[in-house]
Each structure stands twice: as structure tokens, then as C-alpha cells.
Structure 1
Amino acid sequence: MGLFSKGRKNGSGCRLVSNRFMLTFPQGWVDRSIYRFDGPEADGIQHHITVNIEQDVAVSDLEKYAQRQIKALETELFGYLELKRGRLTLDNQMSAYELVYKWQPVKGREAYQRMVWVLQDDTGYALTATFSKKTWKMMADEIDHVIKSFTALVPTC
């Protein structure tokens, strides 16, 4: 996974380290990585989990951070209906906040999503799993295991 280090010994530049590549950037570049992991296709849905990284988050309270994101979903997604919301503890005992909802990406088609937010220092992580009502029942344990295994790594220079 990506790791964006702020500066080296001279305080300039950043380094993005992945399990497949490494890039070195000059000062002023910001990591806005989005990772997508595709799971099996079932019931007409390509299951996937995305991880979005947000640097320099101004809010230090996890619930406030999640509420800000949820407010945007409520207004932007057609047919949005909240199904579950609350705190969650990851396998590594880190606090997270989750939301499960359904919406209509196209008329007549419902999609279900589970979002989990994690804050570490000033970095926010948003994990999103996409599924159908039918496949949630089939894959809930698998998706839960993947999401709860999330660990935010501390960048090193």
C-alpha cells in the first residue's frame, strides 16, 4: 500500500512507497491516492473495496469527520437511505466510524455501500465496500474481515 512520507533529512520532497512501485516528489506535492480492490462479480455487481486517503484533515474528532462526509452523501446520492451508523473497533483496536446505506445509481437499480472512516493524526481514510442486498448476505463476513483488518501505517522519512 502507499505510504507518503513528508520530507527527508533536508526537509524537502516526499516519497510514495507502494508494494509495486516507488516515486519521489518535490516539496508541495500531496498524496490523494485512491486504491480499488476488486472482489468477485455476483448478482450483476462488481464487488470492490476502495480506500481514499485525505491528507491534512482539519478535524481531529473521528465522529465529526465522518458526519461531514455523511452530510455530503445525504445530499448528493439519489434515493439515499441510511441503514446503520455508529462507532466500530478495528482488529488492531483502532476506532473507526461506519455507515451502511443504499441508493440508486441509476433508476430502478439499488446499490448498497458500507463506508468506514478512520483518522490517524491529520490523515483521514475512507473505506467503501459496494454490494447488492443479496450479495451482502453472501459476503458480509468476508467484507467485514477485510474492512476490520485495515491498519494505517505511520509514514517514515
Structure 2
Amino acid sequence: MSQSICQTADFSFEHPSDWIDRTMIVRSAPPNGSAVPPNVVIAYDQIPLGSDLDGYVQRQIADLERAMQGFLLELRRPIGFSGRNAVELLFVWTAAIGTMRQRQVYAALDDRRVVSVACTALGTDFAASEPMFDQLLSSFRWA
């Protein structure tokens, strides 16, 4: 079996070359007294064969509806994201600490991978966090 090497700034390891990259990047605002500081999670996934970005996003929405109490989709729209076609979602759900709000952007890469960017904050903190989220999303550049 062919092997590949995953190399980061901190470590490396070998894995089968047909394994799917499901990398996650997580950044958070500094603790601000909020139970959940505003944060962003960027993740890779694979669009299944026979599907496209819209189908992938629809399955993600269905999974969120099943998993999140009080899930309410407020927005789903196509957008341009750093020169690529993408889909943007905005939704809320009820967590133990209160209402949460999340903005997600999904963009497909040419090799059937999808990159998702999820900007999250408490519902009461989201409006104040939006300029920071907007700046992060507008600064996003593909390699």
C-alpha cells in the first residue's frame, strides 16, 4: 500500500495515500467573559461521487437539523468566495449555554474536496462579532 506523509509545523506522520484529508483549523477570540468566545473552524471534507456542492450542503443541513436542538436555518444562498462558487448558510440552534448562531461558507475544490468555514458566536455576541467574521472571510485567499 502506498503511503503519504502529513507534515505540519509541529509534527509529521505517514498514512495510506488514499486517506481523505479532513484537516481542521480552529481559531478563537481571546476569552472575553463569554461562555463561548467568537471562533472560526475551517475544515476539509470530500464530496461523495455522484454528488455536487449543493447536494453536499443539503446533506449537511439535514445532519444539523437532526443533531442540533432548535435548529433554524435563516439563510442559504449562493455566493462568490475568493473567486470560487460557494454556498453560505446562517443558522441558530439552542445549546446548554443559550442560543448559538453560526455562519458557514462551503466551497468546492477541483478535486472533489470541499472547504467549509464556520464562524460561530453566542447569539447575543454574534452581531458584535460580524465585522471580525466579515474581515476574516474577505481576507481568505486560495493558494
Match of 1:77 among 46, 68, 77: 68
- Secondary structure at 2:2's aligned position in 1? coil
2:49 to 53, 58, 78: 58
Deviations 1:92-143 (A, max 9, x none): 211111111110122x711111111111121012221111233221121211
2:134 corresponds to which residue? 144
Report the TM-score when normalising by structure 2: 0.81
Counterpart check, 1:48 vs 2:39 = yes
Q: Which residue of 1 aligns with 2:108?
A: 119
Q: Percent identity?
A: 23
- Which of residues 80, 103, 108 in structure 2 aligns to 1:89? 80
Q: Distance in 2 between matches of 1:100 and 1:60?
A: 22
| Structure 1: gaps spanning 5 or more residues | 1-10
Query: Contact (CA 8 Å) 1:110, 1:132: kept in 2 or not?
Result: yes
What TM-score do you get using the length of structure 1 for normalisation?
Answer: 0.75
Taking structure 1 as reference, are residues 96 and 136 closer, same or farther at Cα in structure 2, changes over 3 Å only? same
List gaps (5 residues or longer) in structure 2.
none
* d(CA) in 1 for partners of 2:23, 2:51: 21
**1:38-93: CA deviation from partner (whole Å, max 9, x where unpaired):** 12334432221111211363255222211111111112210111111111211x21
Number of corresponding residues = 141
Structure 1's 101 and 139: CA in aligned 2 closer, same or farther, altered over 3 A?
A: same
Contact 2:80 2:86 in 1 (8 A): yes
**Which residue of the other structure, out of 89, 95, 109, is the alignment partner of 2:98?**
109
Q: 1:130 aligns with which of 120, 125, 132?
A: 120
